[in-house]
Structure 1
């Protein structure tokens, strides 16, 4: 989740341009899956059913 926050802040610093979310990965917190996926480009979080 720390990586997600870092990605989100970096994306905001770029002016939050549109992202097609080309690559996503499962999100983990304390070693356990959260049920969400995260865009590895901009840090956007999605429920699996939304992506």
Structure 2
């Protein structure tokens, strides 16, 4: 998953996409959305670094 697809999944509340990440279930995906949505919308600097989740 690319950083941009991760950010898009968080912004659009796409739990299904986030649960495709190994080790992330429905509750974790919902928590990621809750905690990161506002940060990503404001252009959080951590998205500028490449992050690859296999």
Greater C-alpha Rg: 1
Provide TM-score, normalisation by structure 2. 0.25
More strand by share: 1
Provide TM-score, normalisation by structure 1. 0.25
More helix by share: 2
